[in-house]
Amino acid sequence: MARIDDLMDKVDSRFHLVHLAAQRAREINGYYAQLGEGLGAYVPPLLSTDSNKPLSIALEEIAEGKIEGFVRTEEERQAAAEAEGLALVEGDGDRSA
């Protein structure tokens, strides 16, 4: 299982990680649900794993770089924070808890 620090290096924020993982887990779940029907409407898991849980598979795919999120530059993060009326502390961002 991937560590949260490894996952956070792949995405912009915790919110984006949750959204990306949930979206991919739904795709994996849909793939397994339609497997016997032969529709081919969903992308199968992109790596082999011992886990059979869609969310675990999705998080492993993100950690391995198979599913790409976006990472904002520092200027983009600052502009987004200013647009929301927030001020970021130097080096704080979404990664501190």
At 51-89, the pLDDT tens digits run 889 999 999 999 888 887 666 677 777 776 777 666 555
Write the CB contacts of 79 (distance below 8 Å, at least 6 apart in sequence). none
**Tally of domains in the chain:** 1
Domain encompassing residue 60: 4-38+48-83
- The answer to whether residue 88 sits within a structural domain is no
* Cα 62–Cα 11–Cα 25 angle in degrees, nearest 5: 40
- The answer to whether residue 97 sits within a structural domain is no
At 71 the pLDDT is 62
For the cut 60, the answer to whether the pLDDT of residue 36 exceeds it is: yes
- The answer to whether residue 92 sits within a structural domain is no
Closest to 31 measured CA to CA, from 57, 66, 49, 7: 57
At 97 the pLDDT is 44
pTM of the shown model: 0.65
